[in-house]
Every structure is written in structure tokens, then in C-alpha cells.
Amino acid sequence: MTGPTTPEDLSAFHDDRYPSSRPAFELFQSRRTTVGNITVRRALPKRQRRTIGAWCFADHFGPELLSDKQGMDVGPHPHIGLQTATWLLEGELVHRDSLGSEQMIRPGELNLMTAGKGVSHSEESPGKRSSIHGIQLWIAQPNETRNGEPAFEHHNSLPEANIDNATATVLVGSFGGATSSARSDTPIVGVQVTIGIGSTILELRKDFEYGLIVLEGIVTHQNLAVTPGNLAYFPMGRNEIMLTSQEPSILMLLGGKPFSESLLMWWNFVARTHGELDEARQDWNSHSQRFGIVNSKLDSIPAPTLQL
Ligand code: MN
């Protein structure tokens, strides 16, 4: 017999509550990159893991102090075929879009924009700049809705569930008996979990796969530490995840039924074919009416060259 060489093996060795046939979990490193002067940890997509349910993109940004000259200033840019979900732990952002929406978002609130066949938006740090900390997520739209009309929702209060040693705030879907009224086009769940010192059990759906992103603090699962900059992936088939923490921690739990349609994701677009991507790219760069106009002082971001 050889010793454990992967996290999956470790879990089978160290946790005898679970049979070794239990679905493994995987720990990935997020990739560091920048968005509008802000450093982000990109947890999704990974080469080895493109989606979790319909969740197809996750950028954890901050906590970072902003100067007057430096902010999360992302000028007008387009999207197709996805929803953007913005969630803050600290700071403020102003969302403006081609539907005419202008919405300040603060911690505990959700901005959810549905691109459908085409929308454009900007995200700007408002005049008073302090610190910023949050996550931006994208949710792939299914064939039934991805060519539909764009839409925008702001939720300034979201349902909470008290679970053992933790509080869950439900952004999308249902968790712990609480259900968000935010739009979802496929079966998914998105939850912020604030956990205290000690052990916490998160109850899961067996028909969902899940990803866990630590926004603040540190948790351990089967003797492996999950920190900001990691993505912990849990395949379908689990009833629960047990986490322990030595300090109060804040997590984002994302889940859903595995997305069955094959996606092509490029720049800010989620599509199915290269032709769709190229058409969207040309429509944006030629200022077509498809993506409308955003009332922003920032410069629009041109689409890069599409290399097929
Ligand atoms: Mn965007």
C-alpha cells in the first residue's frame, strides 16, 4: 500500500466517519490577476473545472484600500449569455447599465444583472473611496433564456438562515430553509456563510455539486486548510460538508446541478459557438444598438482580438 498523495486520499485516511467510496473533494489555487487596478483571486474558471452548476466565473477582490486615483473603475463593457452577481463585504460600488439602471451597492446587498442577448454596464468606485472587499460571480444562462431580454435586479435585503455555529445569507436559490427571491434560470444556490469558532456542518443536496471560496478567515475540511485564494470543489453525492475553524470566517458556497450544455467563454461573453462570440465582439466594437449605451464618464473597453 502506498501513502496518501492527494487530498482525496488524505480524506479517506483521516476521516473514518466517511467510507472511502465517498466522493472526493479537490482543492484548487485561484489565479491572481487584475481588474480595473484591483488585484483579484480568480477561483473560476479553472482549466480542470470550468463550472460549478451554472456558476462559471468567480473573482474575489480585496480587502484593499483604495486611494483617490485607484478604484474598481471598470468602464462600460458588454456581456451576453450570463448573469453577473456582485456581492460586497466592505466598501461601495456604483453599477450603471444600458437598461438605464444606476445602483449603489453596499455590503449585504446583491446586484444581479442578466445579460441575455446583450447588455453593457460599468462598475465604479464612488467619490468617497475607502476599502473594497467582495466577489463577482457569473452564472451561465441556459439555452432557454440566453437569447432573451437583459434585466437588472437589486436586492437590498436577503433571507438568512441560522444553522449550527453559522449564519447563512442566501443570495440565490434555497439554503437552510431560506429562499432568495433573486432570479435563477437553472437550479443553483449561492450562500454567504459566516461561521464561528468550532465545527459547522453545511447540509447539501446530493444532486448538486458545490464550490467553497473563503472570503475571510480560514476553515479546515478533512484536515486540509481552505484559505482565501483557494477553491474547494465537492462533487455531487454529498449530504453535508463538515468544516472547522479556529477563527470567525466568511465563506461563499456556490452549488448547482452540473451544467449540461457545453459553454464557450471568451472575454465577457458566454456562448456556444465561435460565430456567436465573433458576432458579439463585432457588435460591441462597432457600437451596435445591441449593447445599448451606459451613462458613464469612464471610457468603454474595446473587445480584444478573437483568436480562434
Ligand atoms: Mn461586467
Residue the block writes with cell 431580454 = 149
Q: How many angstroms separate the alpha carbon of residue 76 from the centre of ligand 1? A: 8
Q: Would you call 171 helix, strand, or coil by DSSP?
A: strand
pLDDT on residue 35: 82
pLDDT on residue 66: 81
pLDDT on residue 219: 97
Q: How many angstroms separate the alpha carbon of residue 116 from the centre of ligand 1? A: 13
Q: Would you call 168 helix, strand, or coil by DSSP?
A: strand
d(CA 107, CA 130): 13
Grid coordinates given for 11:
480524506
d(CA 140, CA 103): 23
pLDDT on residue 104: 97
Which CATH fold topology does 9-15+22-288 show?
A: Jelly Rolls (2.60.120)
Count of other CB atoms within 10 angstroms of residue 1: 2
Q: How many angstroms separate the alpha carbon of residue 77 from the centre of ligand 1? A: 6
Q: How many angstroms separate the alpha carbon of residue 268 from the centre of ligand 1? A: 7
Integer-rounded Cα Rg, in Å, for the chain is 19
Low-confidence ranges of the chain (pLDDT < 70): 1-23, 68-69, 128-129, 308
Q: Residue 223 — φ and ψ, nearest 5°?
A: 70, 10
- Which of these, 81, 1, 23, 33, lies nearest to 233 by C-alpha position? 23
- What are the distances in angstroms from CA 196 to CA 228, 231, 249? 17, 20, 7
Q: How many angstroms separate the alpha carbon of residue 62 from the centre of ligand 1? A: 17
Q: How many angstroms separate the alpha carbon of residue 153 from the centre of ligand 1? A: 15
Q: How many angstroms separate the alpha carbon of residue 253 from the centre of ligand 1? A: 21
pLDDT on residue 51: 97
- Per-domain boundaries in the chain: 9-15+22-288
Q: How many angstroms separate the alpha carbon of residue 85 from the centre of ligand 1? A: 9
Q: How many angstroms separate the alpha carbon of residue 223 from the centre of ligand 1? A: 36
Q: How many angstroms separate the alpha carbon of residue 138 from the centre of ligand 1? A: 9
